[in-house]
Amino acid sequence: MKKIQPFLLSLAILLGVVSCQDFLTLEPLNDVVLENFWKEKGDIESVVTSCYYNLQSSSVIKSLFVWGELRSDNIIAGMSIGTTEQDILEANILPENTYASWSPFYNVINLCNTVIYYAPGVQQYDQTLTNSELNSYIAEMKALRALCYFYLVRTFHELPLVLDATIGDDVDFEVAPSSQEEVINQIIRDLEEAEPDIREIYAKEVYNKGRITRLAVQSILADAYLWKGDYAKCIEYCQKVIDYKQQEFDKYTLDDIVRFNGYPLILTDYTTIQNYNYNRIFGVGNSFESIFELQFSESFGQSNSLPSSYFGTSGNPIGPLSAPGNIGMSGQDVLFVPSDVRRVQSLNIGASASLYPISKYAATAVSVLATGNSYSYRRTNYANWIFYRLTDIMLMKAEALTLKDNAGTNELQEAFQLVSAVYNRSNPGIGQDTLVYGTYASVEKMEDLVRKERQRELLFEGKRWYDLVRMCRRDGNNNRMLDLVIPKYTENQNAIRSKMTSPYALYFPIAASELKVNKKLKQNPIYNTGEISHRN
């Protein structure tokens, strides 16, 4: 956000955000400071902005990627990978692993709870704070809290559900975990309460992408309902987002956006780099297709260390993480057909003879020309992180249409139109590679098509593992997931398959530090049995 730097001093004085291992040891707000705070609208805005600032922390951004990608079939080790990440890749996750910590997310949750608690009292001091503004702030904090819990519940399965601010010494710091169902229901409740009150648009255009709006709330709701298996509600909220984008397209003249099967998407244009869809979405950021993305700005010292830590750089495009061969290669029986530009957009093809380095987010511009591919890497770490964009929502709807009860021809055809719109955008001049509905005219084949298209479109965006876990939850077992993931391992396949057979293996262990301070927590049982809690 543009005004984050001035807010940092206020945040440090007011909240004393600590670097403790768990949110249960957060220091309560300082009573002396509170006498002079929460007196005007700007105080609310300061703490709201600090929520986004905390989301931008390196620990949060890296967790979003690691939790959503490393265990999936998208990632293998690259060059000079660290032990922490290597253990996760090899299914040797210990409770001491850095990424078993949930405290950075609970820091954000506690800030959200603090605004929800104190903001209503500001009206008695600042009469310029209208009811609609107050309700919008509270809705925004409920939505941001829900987003944090959505990542946590998909990663840890069961966890403490804390809805009150840590504001005094009499707070009960030992909170029992809630079930995944209870957490999901609270997420949905918060979001549905937030939807009518949260802002639809902001006066500053960057806020419409960099802060949670009504469109973002509807996107998270669609995702939560898809996770829950309520496909009708998922479709309903996806359609709200799609309708809004359709209306936005109709309202403005947007030369670089065209309709694919009726859906407005940024054109894949080989003739001018400025209009190339990768560069608009990931290079420049805040594109037409974006719904919610964290803003990183060199001018305000907000850096995103994820690409330089794990992907390539201009000096060395081969980073610690890479992609397996079935993703890096093109042709028959692999993820990408030769005409699909997303392979080149996501991976630095040709940077290595044996590895497929990740270029998505790391590159500001990718050019796919007949004369050869070229990559312009970021010289500094200021790539925005995208939570939701239009094609993600389109493919959510396609999945829900395919899996809803009694899905018939109409639902499968609509799902196919959504998938083929996304596919065709990235396959200009596809000719013989064109998707044909008849090839996928069954629930089983359409589900497989949607899942593969989500993998192609959202590669390395922190989505894949959650897509696979969602599939396992539907199946009631991990078999299909294992069939997809195990081939990336070149050794110990049987041992890894055995470790990952249990439904509890889909989730991370609770950090050892959390168990020490909260005796009501119970470790994920698979990490208590020794099935995973050792290195091979």
Full set of structural domains in the chain with CATH: 1-179+481-531 (1.25.40.390), 306-383 (no CATH), 395-480 (no CATH)
Say whether pLDDT at 1 is over 80: no
Contact criterion met (CB below 8 Å) for 518 and 21: no
What is the pLDDT averaged over residues 96-121?
96
What is the pLDDT averaged over residues 301-313?
88
Closest CA to 509 of 160, 181, 155, 180: 155
Taken as a whole, the chain contains a residue count of 536
Q: What is the pTM of this model?
A: 0.92
C-alpha neighbours within 13 Å on the C-beta side of residue 444: 2
Task: Provide the 8-state DSSP code for 345.
Answer: H
Most confident among 182-196, 284-298, 322-336 (mean pLDDT): 182-196
Backbone angles phi, psi at 363, to 5 degrees: -95, 135
79 vs 314, which has greater pLDDT?
79
Query: For residue range 157-176, what is the model confidence (pLDDT) as tens digits?
Result: 999 999 998 776 666 778 99
Contact criterion met (CB below 8 Å) for 46 and 131: no
